[in-house]
Amino acid sequence: MKEREIPLCKPAIGMEEIASATDILKSGWMAHGPKNHEFEELFKDYIGARHAVTMNSCTSALHLAIEALGIGGEVIVPSFTFVASVNAILLAGAEPVFVDIDEKTRNISPERIREAITEKTEAIMVVHYAGLPADMPKIIELAETHQLRIIEDSAQCIGGRYFGVHPGVYDVGCFSFFPTKNITTGEGGMLTTNDDKIASAVRSICAHGIDSSTYSREKEKKPWLRIASRIGYNFRMSNLHAAIGVEQMKKLDRLNMKRRKLAERYIDRLRGSEFVEPPMVPEGFDHAWQMFTVLIQPSVRDNLLFHLGSNGVGASVHFDPPVHEQPIYQDLKKGSSLAVTENVAKSIISLPIYPGMDMDDVDYICDIIQSFP
């Protein structure tokens, strides 16, 4: 019989979120509204960006980043990511070019980016894996040398930093509030930028191409006028979801601190293991620990997953297969050998980590791993 059940993740929802959502339900203002503005202000101030725009998902944010930047050529992107990153590139009319990752950090390799740059390259989509920022100083240097835009898929990196800088402030950042992330709104995303024109375009495109929101028009002489200046989508976040986000933002640092302590316990318990390689954090980088991943020999990886599952541990894999091995993406351009990506995909395991866990849960999981035959 299983000693306990530990899911892969669990959102940290308290009475504050429930009360705020209840207030919105009672108010009747369910669609995009004042809580969106409050959430955006809190978020942009937290990461140090000039603008933050709420929307219904990080995928939508990635899509609109490409459209607002006017990118139609090649976008360099790691294959070791969720398919949403590449879906956004294709749906926005650009061409993804896959490059390899660094085995230690699981992040896109600046060296492989350099090799893949051609006259058709217009942007680099950086995916900050599991909460660890990629090597942004080197990537920014490459982008500036070759006059490329940077789109940061920061879905997993809310609260991460590189040399004190948050992801999402250099050019365009895209964040996720899915229930597995460091904070959640249920479903939702955020786009951040310091560029006034990009922010203005994104706000319009995500709301049917209309330049003013219902909330902002309330004070206008003719609030019923809706002027569309461009073709757009309905990618907006609701007032209800934003209200949950406001309360989550107030807890973000505390929730991330708990994740950090859990990760430290994992690393301490797994240090010196003969067959488990814990993640590494380069000096000067702060990991947000959205996921805690380890590398296992590919020959035993799946059996260890079954062993963990049979003992009540909700371990998983992120990501296998990588995007370039998905049937629909196999013919897309590869800018480098993807050997490291393929090896990591066959070796990686995501272990449970969320603020509601305690140290005994980590010890139990490590005991199960160490009991593996």
Catalytic machinery residues: 181
Q: How far apart are CA 343 and CA 98, in angstroms?
A: 15
Angle between helices 239-270 and 15-27 (to 10 degrees): 170
**What distance separates the 2 farthest-apart alpha carbons in the chain?**
73
Phi, psi of 88, deg, nearest 5: -60, -40
Token look-up 């006017």 returns 70
Residue 91 and residue 68 in contact, taking contact as beta carbons nearer than 8 Å: no
Which distant-in-sequence residues (6+ apart) come within 8 Å of 119 by Cβ?
Answer: none
- Return the structure tokens found at 251: 């807890």
Nearest to 348 by CA among 286, 268, 291, 269: 291
Q: DSSP letters along 300-319, please?
A: HHHHHHHHHHHTTB--B-SS
Neighbours of 345 (CB within 10 A): 24
CA-CA-CA-CA torsion sign (50, 181, 70, 102): positive
DSSP state of 60: H
Give backbone dihedrals phi and psi of 26, rounded to 5 degrees, phi first: -70, -30
Q: Amino acid letter at 367?
A: D
Burial (CB < 10 A; 0-12, 13-18, 19+), residue 61, is buried
* Cis omega (within 30 of 0) for bond into 321: yes
Report d(CA 59, CA 77) in Å as an integer: 14
Say how far apart CA 103 and CA 109 lie, in whole Å.
9
